[in-house]
Amino acid sequence: MSHALQFYIDGAWVDPAELKRLAVIDPSTEEPCGEIAIGSAEDVDKAVAAARRAFESFSLTSREERLALLRRLQTIYERRLDELGAVISREMGAPLPFAREWQAGIGLRHLKKAIETLETFRFEEPRGTTMVFKEPIGVVGMITPWNWPMNQIMAKVAPALATGCTMVLKPSEIAPLSAILFAEMMDEAGVPAGVFNLVNGDGPGVGEAISRHPGIDMVSFTGSTRAGILVAKGAADTIKRVHQELGGKSANILLPDVDLEAAVTKGVQGCFGNSGQSCNAPTRMFVPADRHDEAAEIAARAASAFKTGPADADGVHLGPVVSQMQYDKIQRLIETGIAEGASLVAGGLGRPDGMNRGYFVQPTVFAHVTPDMTIAREEIFGPVLSILSYESEEDAIRLANDTVYGLAAYIQSGDPARARRVASRMRAGSVYLDYPAWDPGAPFGGYKQSGNGREYADFGLEEFLEIKGVVGYGAA
């Protein structure tokens, strides 16, 4: 990757103000698979200056001009999809078919939805003699995570382009190679100079500089709640808009009339997808108390069906988690679950048998988990499922909502009306009934400490717009 030690600023690949290298580690092997340059506040200053200059003209472009740019990007993205999937697989450990179909593919789905949304989006709305305009907010700082790199990059970049904003992107330094490849696509698509800028770096060096920068009008952040708090504090002095998609500890309620075998099996699969590294994963499974042991047996069988291995191996369901730090955190939480008295029915401490390197975690299921246990309250971000019991529907609702998070909830029932009724009681930004297909048109974001604002489709476009009312516009 020829530009890995450079940044994309003002329409060109440029050297950092001071070259500091950081190795990118392949989590399947624990060996470097590349290296990047780490930026500084000086690099952010250059990128913001370019974005502010570009905003003057890009904010005035027509819908048709922005659609043409997004369609060119779509053509290039489709051509380089396999390459992008391979890069993501290597940098964050996703099995190769999954990395192509979902890790890279979900970015394409977001891009297509942004194009579809822009085609009919209303930027003007008359209200009597007042005209309400929706205008681009300005320069957007974007800070994205490693677990779904292209999902979060495209969920921010596409609507920003669609609305006429300019931007400075800091991807995660743990999985940054896909973002460099994406910047190459943006350059090939002919994005005007300064509209899209990429500065690699860590949170203290580049993330904080973006949050605090007076030349940035909005920060869109996806990551942990802890880091989100720091971003919000950094942004407070300049009163910029802060959009956040943060952590989760999502409940999965299996109501008494459900097909338990199917519901538990699919729940395990949902929890373990992407090696459990999804903020909206259904990690707390609530089952009727009188069927708890049956559910635990089903979950243990389902967990045993998962094949763990290197991202490039055939037939692998679970790749490694992304880093030594993440591996160590998960091991500590598994150990805590055992110490606090939860019943370990699958997996456990250490790597799977036969593996002596790579950040591989055993697919793990705990039963007889109580709401006060650490594993029922903290976001683990690994392939670890907690099974809890409830006595009644009201009990299940109360327990599911008893969390500081509110990103997602899952409801399984043989009665659609009952499922909808329970869904209406969930304090979560997304509720999924009976494991539906992923919908790029559904709003995504959280209640409580899972963040604020929404992404995807028109909800995502709205986040990047300011509202202006021109009173008397329609007066005779």
Find the DSSP H helices in 378-443: 393-401, 416-423
Rounded to whole angstroms, the Cα distance separating 129 from 121 reads 21
N- to C-terminal Cα separation, the chain = 61
What is the token pair recorded at 2? 């020829």
Residue 429, exposed/middle/buried by CB under 10 A (0-12, 13-18, 19+)?
buried
Task: Name every residue whose Cβ is closer than 8 Å to that of residue 270 and which is 6 or more positions away in sequence.
Answer: 252, 281, 282, 410, 435
Rounded to whole angstroms, the Cα distance separating 171 from 141 reads 11
Asked whether the beta carbons of 38 and 6 are under 8 A apart, the reply is no
Of 363, 310, 272, the residue nearest 95 (C-alpha): 310
Asked whether the beta carbons of 468 and 133 are under 8 A apart, the reply is yes
Specify whether the backbone of 164 is left (phi greater than 0), alpha (psi in -120 to 50) or beta: left
Residue 23, exposed/middle/buried by CB under 10 A (0-12, 13-18, 19+)?
exposed
Find the helix or strand (DSSP H, E) in which 235 lies: helix 225-236
Find the helix or strand (DSSP H, E) in which 110 lies: helix 105-120
Residue 436 DSSP class: P
Strands 241-245 and 218-222: parallel
Of 340, 318, 322, the residue nearest 330 (C-alpha): 322
Task: Name every residue whose Cβ is closer than 8 Å to that of residue 204 and which is 6 or more positions away in sequence.
Answer: none
Q: How many CB atoms lie within 10 A of CB 463?
A: 21
Rounded to whole angstroms, the Cα distance separating 242 from 97 reads 35
List the catalytic residues. 245, 279
Sheet holding 364-367, edge to edge: 343-346, 364-367, 384-390, 284-288, 251-254, 408-412, 430-433
Phi, psi (degrees; rounded to nearest 5) at 245 = -120, 115
Residue 434 vs residues 38, 196, 257: alpha-carbon distances, Å: 44, 39, 12
Rounded to whole angstroms, the Cα distance separating 94 from 92 reads 6
